Amino acid sequence: MEKREKLYEGKAKIVYATDDPGKVIQYFKDDATAFNALKRGTILGKGVINNKMSATLFQRLAKAGIPTHYLATLSDREMLCRKLDIIKIEVISRNIVAGSLAKRTGLEEGCPSSRPSSSSTTNQIRSAIPCSRRITCACSSSLPQGSGVAQAHGPQDQCPPAALSSSGKG
């Protein structure tokens, strides 16, 4: 498979065209950003780990009968994939309260969570996540009253943004 011109470069990877118009090569980078890319740096080996983790996840999905774009691992940093139109979804997972999680929930920044929390940047994801979850933190017992978390909503209602930072069973 011949790698050709760069089609896209983002925070974590570069996508290259190949000699097959239906396939691309993803190259996983060591670059890291924080605070909406205001801070930039390099984490040596990050791309190698991301490639291995992604390949493992895609292989497990395939075993479960869930199709993905993954075709093969080409090297420590490169993955062969089917070319497709992407739906951009960013999911952030934390075990310490920081950034937008602190702003949305009122929890103290730097406070360790009792469980990892996750958040997403799309409204489509928000409406799919149940609101019967609760955030707990070593610095405070739970979210402030009236935050919307732990309130059950009917199917017509949309979960509040704080629900995306919740953890626990849901």
**Residue type for position 23:** K
| Owning domain of residue 22 | 3-82
- Give 33-51 pLDDT, tens digit per residue: 877 678 888 999 999 999 9
Amino acid, single-letter form, for residue 118: S
User: Are residue 78 and residue 146 in the same domain, yes or no?
Assistant: no
pTM for the predicted model, two decimal places? 0.57
Whether 110 and 54 share a structural domain:
no
Q: Do 97 and 142 lie in a common domain?
A: yes
Q: What are 121-130's pLDDT values in tens digits?
A: 554 444 333 3
